Amino acid sequence: MSDSDTQLKLAISQISSTIAELDLTPASRTPQPTSPIHQLPTELLSLVFDFSCPINLLQEYSWISVITYLPALAISAVCAKWRCLAMALPSLWSRLKLEISEDSTSNLFMATLQLYLERSAHDPLFVDLYIGLVEDDYEVYDDMPSAPLDLLLEHTRRWKS
């Protein structure tokens, strides 16, 4: 197993343990006042979630809040009910815009991409791919990180666009 595979597995493990810890926090067990959104039927709430997640932007350096560029992740972090529903809706996780740069091999970027691909289950993937390079020289493509692309290539049979 290569060093990058080990680092990726470690990052995924750390994210999974953080998610598990969040699920066990007292806030998730404490009854909260019922707001109108929590009174919506699950079917209607799932439509609201689907409408709220037109695309998930995965990029190495984010300049905007997570709520804006990773809506599926943001929705799944609100409360236990929303998390369960978001996890049951692979369509939320299957619409991806990837901005890949020379720095897109970090553990966090790769773990997030892996997470989205796993949670999208077998749904068709809508992939908008942008490859941004610092230099204008075409030789820089030789230095392009292949890890994110290799991970995407494992799912080509699911690509819708």
Can you give the residue range of the structural domain that contains 17? 3-27+42-158
> What pTM value is reported for the model?
0.68
Q: Is residue 32, in this structure, part of any structural domain at all? A: no
The count of domains in the chain is 1
pLDDT at 89: 97
Give the tens place of pLDDT for each residue, 49-83. Answer: 999 999 999 887 666 666 678 999 999 999 999 99
Q: Is residue 73, in this structure, part of any structural domain at all? A: yes
Q: Is residue 144, in this structure, part of any structural domain at all? A: yes
Give the tens place of pLDDT for each residue, 80-138. Answer: 999 999 999 999 999 999 888 766 567 788 888 899 999 999 999 998 988 876 555 55
Q: Is residue 35, in this structure, part of any structural domain at all? A: no
Q: Is residue 126, in this structure, part of any structural domain at all? A: yes
Q: Is residue 34, in this structure, part of any structural domain at all? A: no
Short-list 161, 145, 46, 150, CA closest to 94? 161
pLDDT at 91: 95
Q: Is residue 33, in this structure, part of any structural domain at all? A: no
